Amino acid sequence: MVSLSSKDWMQLSRLWMEIARHPLADLDGAVADTLETLCPLVGADMAVLILNRRLREFPADDPLSGWRPIHMSVHGSALADLKDRAQSWLAQPPEILADGLAGAATAASGQTLVRRARDLMDEEAYRKTRGYAHAAALGVTAELVAQRPVAVNLEVCFVFYRTAGRFSDRDVALARAALDGLEPLCEHYVRSLGLLPGMTRLSPRERETLSYLLQGLPEKVVSDRLGLAESTTHQYVVAVYRKLGVSSRAELMSLWLSSSAAARQGDGSGPDV
């Protein structure tokens, strides 16, 4: 087990403090900033944040044991290409997704895991998979997977990519330590999508409305920002409250500031993919 230096812990502390100071209303920005900071910290050139959820019902022979990717955020120098390829890959049927790291990581789904590709499966076998061919097309030479549950049957997965060399034991240790401090961000991000237990997934317009509500803006100002009539905006506000299981702005803010332990209650099933 690699021991992190005081400098490493200072960098991690700085990351966690920056996340804590980030406005709750801009969780997309917080995630983007986190990926941008984490990449150089763990020696990565690119990263993808994937939300995985397990289906309520699935065949016994399902190659991913019912787990499916449902949302993604990316960061990297080859951003456009990475995003297009990641979206294309995640849209593949489960039998194809299972032919690579996703299949190997499924065995550990639902628990905290930080592993390099070569630790998840035999390197020679991995080079023969469709997942490896997909990554190699981006010039990737090494991959690091860091995943943790945010509720039962719901998890956040960070996948880091290097385009030269490999991830070291220190990189793995840093990613593992960073993951422990990212729990509040992961919970809030998943909640902002309406994916926690008892919630219904929010539409893009509803997420935009939620962002303005969390800034404390009156509905009239929100309607101006959205470019919609106040009556239409109110319908979006009501929809956000209903989908998140609250009935007022006060309850919404209380929900956002509640303990992260609440995220682990319930079955995390939410709406099916």
Q: How confident is the model at residue 77 (pLDDT cuts 50, 70, 90)?
A: low
Read off the pLDDT of residues 110-163 as tens digits, 9 standing for 90 and up: 788 899 988 888 888 888 888 888 888 888 899 999 999 988 889 999 999 999
Calculate the alpha carbon distances from 58 to 61, 69, 197, 263 in Å. 8, 15, 19, 24
pLDDT, mean of residues 236-246: 93
pTM of the model: 0.82
Residue 267 pLDDT exceeds 60: no
Give residue 270's pLDDT. 45
Q: Does residue 236 register a pLDDT over 70?
A: yes
Quick one: pLDDT band at residue 203, thresholds 50, 70, 90? very high
User: In the structure encoding, which two tokens stand for residue 185, read together?
Assistant: 């961000």
Q: pLDDT tens digits for 3-30?
A: 899 999 999 998 888 887 877 778 888 8
Taking each helix axis from N to C end, the angle separating 169-181 and 6-21, rounded to the nearest 10 degrees, works out to 30
Q: Minimum mean pLDDT among 150-154, 184-188, 236-240, 259-263: which range?
A: 259-263
260 against 228, higher pLDDT? 228
CA 269 to chain centroid, in Å, comes to 16
Question: Token digits for 132?
Answer: 């490896």
What is the average pLDDT across 193-215? 88
Q: pLDDT band at 177, cuts 50/70/90?
A: very high
Closest CA to 74 of 93, 48, 97, 56: 48
Q: How confident is the model at residue 78, as a pLDDT?
A: 57
Q: Does the pLDDT at position 170 exceed 50?
A: yes
Weakest-pLDDT range from 38-52, 95-109, 177-191, 258-272: 258-272
The residue-averaged pLDDT of 36-50 equals 91
d(CA 171, CA 41): 8
Strand arrangement of the beta sheet that strand 154-162 belongs to: 67-76, 46-54, 154-162, 142-151, 113-116
Question: Do 158 and 38 form a contact (C-beta atoms < 8 A)?
Answer: yes
Question: What are the structural domains, with CATH classification, of the chain?
Answer: 6-192 (3.30.450.80), 204-264 (1.10.10.10)
Q: What is the pLDDT of residue 100?
A: 76
| Confidence tier at 164 by pLDDT (50, 70, 90) | very high
pLDDT at 221 over 90: yes
What is the rounded average pLDDT for all residues in the chain? 84
Return the pLDDT at 1: 65
